[in-house]
Amino acid sequence: MLRLDRGNAYNHTLKIAVLDPSTDPQGWSRPRMQQIMRERIHLLPVFRQRCLSTPFGIHQPIWVDDPEFDLDAHVRYVACPAPGGMKEFCALVEQVYANPLDRSRPLWQLWVVEGLEGDRVALVTLFHHAYTDGIGAIGMMQNVFSEVPESNSLGPAVWRPGPLPSPSRRLGWALRDLPALLRQVPITVRALRERVQIERQIACDRPNLSPSSTDRSAAGPFQRALSRNRRFACETFQLPELREISAAFGVTINDVFLACVAGSVRRHLTTAGSAPDAPMVGSMPLSLKPLAERPSPGNYTSMDYVWLHTEIADPIERLRASSASAKATKEHFAATKDADLSKIVEIIPGPVVSALVWANEKTSGRYSPFKNIGVSNVPGPRRQLYLGQWKLDRWFSTGQVAHGAVLNITVWSYGDQFNLGALADAEAVPDVWPLIAGFRSSLDELLESAGSGASPVNSPAPSTAIN
């Protein structure tokens, strides 16, 4: 993630907590927010760490405690433009997001946005995806929020960071650990060779059900280079609606999500005068380790690819095809995750990676692991959460966009909410709100069919739907 940063491509992720201070008799105040942050920052230890390179690039960058860490330098306060609705708020988020983070500091910022409708306050957090992934973010969230209102002061924890390690010390660490890294080279090469064989066998047994890691066909209009600016929109849907569709058709919540994303993109492109006639490759992050099995903080996400069936007009046929494609992608990932493509970056020398990143930028994402559209569905907390005595009203999240994948649609569930966020490059998608509306329309189509007693989706998609 760190090495993919270059120019207009930056790999920070966006987390938005919308707070309802009405649950607190004292209401909202900046001093109390500052107090809560000072008392709880130790519960997010990675937020006090910055990255340092290894001399001569002979090993990976490292995380170290930043002795100059200053909490106030990472927290900003800003007012949402009137009247404080979601469109005004999202326009503000676009401006916040469209800037790279400072590599000389810990890679995060918190923007406290006051003045939202209903006297709500939003905490807009940017942090680099190298710190953690979506599942890890849930763990961080659970450290800071609680299931009951808390009125007692926790008191700040003592923190005494040491000095930054000198270049010579970092070089010594790198030389010490280099043999272990080199021993991984033949293992990784062998695993990648096996991955190629597995993918060939899968393609032979079940052609076209899932894109391979090298498949660039049906890329779509979102396989392009990034500009400087971003567009963002978010909206809350009701999770019981998706459960109703899931039960009616015998599919998963994720199948419904993918079908509605495909339906939304189809509407968007059709309105623009280019109705798709083939499925699109979607990039789907998948976790390599559950939260309880992770030995340390970090990003434990890999990537696989799924067909988004934007070519299918009928919503039920689209859902059937989406279900079959999602199942094929899960099986593909289970068969190939031991040969994770990200392991290549770990064994390639830094200058070679830098050259590939440069070439990726110049070729509009040809060498990027991210393709076309990023889609992610993260099951979040089911119970009501609080920050101090302030109720967490809604929670949104979105991953990054990249050269070659300039649209990202991410959903986080929270309680009975299905919170959808769409992030896009401004030149590729000047207005992302129609994508949110298209998701609503696609969901309504499936709800109507579910209510009419349509037959379950219990068979694979016909081959004509995925060619």
Active site residues per annotation: 129
- Which helix (H) or strand (E) covers residue 50, if one does? strand 49-52
Beta bridge partners of 408: 374, 423
Axis-axis angle for helices 253-271, 433-451 (nearest 10) = 130
Q: Which residues are CB-neighbours of 27 under 8 A, at least 6 positions away?
A: 21
Q: In the β-sheet with 417-425, what is the strand arrangement from edge to edge?
A: 230-238, 417-425, 407-414, 373-379, 280-287, 301-308
Q: How many CA atoms lie within 13 A of 399 on its CB side?
A: 30
Residue 182 CB neighbour total at 10 angstroms: 10
Q: What angle do CA 127, 129, 131 make, to 5 degrees?
A: 80
113/93 Cα distance (integer angstroms): 9
Q: How far apart are CA 106 and CA 108, in angstroms?
A: 6
**Residue 467: is it exposed, middle or buried by C-beta count within 10 angstroms (0-12/13-18/19+)?**
exposed
What does the DSSP 8-state code read for residue 81? P
Q: How many CB atoms lie within 10 A of CB 319?
A: 30
- Tokens (6 digits) for 247: 């039960």
Closest of 253, 232, 465, 210 to residue 376, by C-alpha: 253
Residue 126, phi then psi, degrees to nearest 5: -105, 130
Say how many C-beta atoms besides its own lie within 10 A of residue 431's C-beta.
Answer: 11
The secondary structure element, H or E, covering residue 305 is strand 301-308
Cα dihedral: 435, 438, 440, 446 (round 10): -140
158/93 Cα distance (integer angstroms) = 33
Who's near 334: CB < 8 A, 6+ residues apart? none
Closest CA to 438 of 449, 446, 427, 426: 446
The C-alpha atoms of residue 48 and residue 64 are separated, in whole angstroms, by 8
